[in-house]
Amino acid sequence: NRRAVEAARQAHDGAVGGVAGTPGAATLRRRPWVAPREPEDMESPLPSVAILVFCQLVQMFMSYDGGATPASIDKIQDQNPAIHWSQAELGLLGSLDKFGMTISSVLWGRALQVVPAKLLMVLGLGVNAATTFTFGNVPVKALMFVSKFLMGMTQGLQCVWGTCWVLTHAPIDSRTVWLGLGAISAGVGNGIGTAVAGFGTSQGLPYAFAWQVE
């Protein structure tokens, strides 16, 4: 870019100097040099801010169940007496989304290199919504285990993509702040899930109430 600007400056000076014998030559020589604006200087920051806000909302939505599950464990156990839950199974149920998130993060990093990000995000949000509905409305032990694991996998996709997007598009002087917003949104979503599930179960509502709200 510097070489291109310098070449343009020299061309400008040569053009002005070539008309030294004309009546307007003095005026042309006094014309100030203005470097061309860089394309990125003319871009509006609003689209990036809108995508950032969207990412935070998605992060809150996907972290909601991480707080709702522990607050609903007692109701999950008592909801259907025909299904026996051991303490180990309940602990596994509460941690399967974290396993899914951890295992899938490496896979998503590779998948985002070979598959369009928009397609993966649409599929991820769709699968997360479907598995959230299944977990809250189909009290079948095997389906609840699978749903919880898939919920964690889709959360892992959002975490990986969101971090890559911020590193690519965030302003340099605000990059650290933008990265920190993801963790804040996850904590807020987790807290909202805990509050909603805790309120619902304390009022005698079924465990599905928290996921129906989500």
Written as six digits, the tokens of 179 are: 């990265």
Q: Residue 123: which pLDDT band, with cuts at 50, 70 and 90? A: very high
Cβ-based neighbour number of residue 109 at 10 Å: 15
The whole model's pTM is what? Answer: 0.70
- Predicted local distance difference test score (pLDDT) of residue 19: 47
Q: What does the pLDDT look like over 160-170, one tens digit per residue?
A: 888 888 888 88
Handedness of CA 200, 101, 78, 135 (dihedral sign): positive
Written as six digits, the tokens of 36 are: 């061309």
Range 138-147 contact pairs with CB under 8 angstroms and sequence separation of 24 or more: 139/76, 139/79, 139/80, 139/83, 140/83, 141/83, 141/85, 141/89, 144/93, 145/92, 145/93, 145/96
Q: How far, rounded to the nearest angstrom, does the alpha carbon of residue 65 sit from its chain's CA centroid?
A: 16
